[in-house]
Amino acid sequence: MQQPHLIQFPSIGDSSLGYLSVGEGLGAIPFPIARVYWTYYTPQNVQRGGHANIGKELVLVAVAGTITITTEMRDGTCDTFVLDHPATGLFIPKLCWHSMKYSHSAVQMVIASNHYSEADYIRDYSTFKAWK
């Protein structure tokens, strides 16, 4: 079973020019990329997420600001990850319950292995815990 883990992207450039980071499907992003979306203007007191996906894998990147993500796997393994650099990503495997909190003006980019399907979401925690 795959566990959530941090991914380091290359940083190309220097402090005089600025930097460029890149992740390719089946490279630093460990799946073929189907969809990219981003979330922004999330108030600091709001928690997003609160769900798991049955068949979708994700990589989350805080392209601006700081995002704190809590994860729980079905075996009960819990972790907290802090994304505070645009060259760092967090891999979220299938069946990983995850929630996110954002610093002021944080922007989260999500790279997904599948197209959006609401049927792929488990949004009820007890359903997640009982999932076979």
Which amino acids are annotated catalytic?
Answer: 51
Sequence-distant (6+) residues with CB within 8 A of 2 are: 91, 93, 94
User: Closest CB to ligand TYD among 10 and 25?
Assistant: 25
Residues that bind ligand TYD (CB under 6 A): 37, 39, 48-49, 51, 116
CA distance 48 to 95: 17
CB of 59 to ligand TYD, least distance (A): 13
User: Closest CB to ligand TYD among 37 and 125?
Assistant: 37
User: Closest CB to ligand TYD among 17 and 119?
Assistant: 119
CB of 5 to ligand TYD, least distance (A): 19
CB of 4 to ligand TYD, least distance (A): 14
Residue in the shown chain whose Cβ atom is closest to ligand TYD:
116
